[in-house]
Amino acid sequence: MTTGENIKAFREKMGLTQVQLADIAQATDKAVSAWENGTREPRVVYIERIAKHYGINKSEITDGKPATINDSGPLTDPVNREMMDLFLKLTPEEQRLQVDQLKWILSRR
């Protein structure tokens, strides 16, 4: 698989839209589309942001094998994995509200 094919497979596995993945990578949805279509290669910084967000190695996205979150990183913990699975079922607006609520809770500590 190419890097673009692998990014698309990973995005679809996570149930993300191109816009949502772009938000995670701090890129544009047009950039994600270009990566997936093979017309542009993503900069390393974007791959790093995606990998950091999901607690995976960059190589899982770039080395041509299907990316997975099942064998490394913080999402191997069942509670963290369940939280992420539930979070990804929310709309982008609901996700933003949840993040804002969590930030508010943590700011009161």
Task: Tell me which residue of 36, 19, 31, 32 sits closest to 92, measured CA to CA.
Answer: 19
Exposure b/e, 85-102, CB count within 10 A at least 16 = b: eeeeeeeeeeeeeeeeee
pLDDT tens for the chain, residues 1 to 109: 788 988 998 888 888 999 999 999 999 999 999 999 999 999 999 999 998 888 778 887 877 554 444 444 555 566 777 787 788 888 888 988 998 998 898 898 8
Place of tokens 């698309």: 8
Task: Tell me which residue of 55, 52, 62, 65 sits closest to 25, measured CA to CA.
Answer: 52
Whole-angstrom Cα distance, residue 66 to residue 23? 21
Query: So what's the pLDDT on residue 37?
Result: 95
Looking at residue 26, the DSSP 8-state letter turns out to be: T
